[in-house]
Amino acid sequence: MALAACSPPPVKVAPPDTVGAVAAIRALGAHYQSSVQVHGVRDPAVDGFLAAARTQEARGDFHSAWAAVDKALAISPRAPDILQFAAELAIENGDWKQAGELARQSYDLGARVGGLCARNLETQARALAVQGDDAGAAQARARIEACRVPPVTRF
Instruction: Read off the CATH number of the domain in which 112 is found.
Output: 1.25.40
How does pLDDT run across 3-35, given as a tens digit for each residue? 555 556 555 556 689 989 999 999 999 988 766
DSSP string, the chain: -HHHHHSPPPPPPPPP-HHHHHHHHHHHHHHT--S--------HHHHHHHHHHHHHHHTT-HHHHHHHHHHHHHH-TT-HHHHHHHHHHHHHTT-HHHHHHHHHHHHHHS-S-HHHHHHHHHHHHHHHHHTT-HHHHHHHHHTGGGG--PPPP--
pLDDT band for position 38 (cuts 50, 70, 90): low
- State how many domains the chain has: 1
For range 40-65, the mean pLDDT: 93
How does pLDDT run across 54-84, given as a tens digit for each residue? 999 999 999 999 999 999 999 999 999 999 9
Residue 55 lies in a domain: no
Residue 4 lies in a domain: no
Residue 3 lies in a domain: no
**Average pLDDT value over all residues in the chain:** 89
In angstroms, the CA 79 to CA 85 distance is: 10
Residue 11 lies in a domain: no
Nearest to 85 by CA among 35, 49, 111: 49
Residue 59 lies in a domain: no
Which structural domain, as residue segments, surrounds residue 111?
17-38+77-147
Residue 51 lies in a domain: no
Residue 140 lies in a domain: yes
- For residue 150, the model assigns a pLDDT of 74
Residue 23 lies in a domain: yes
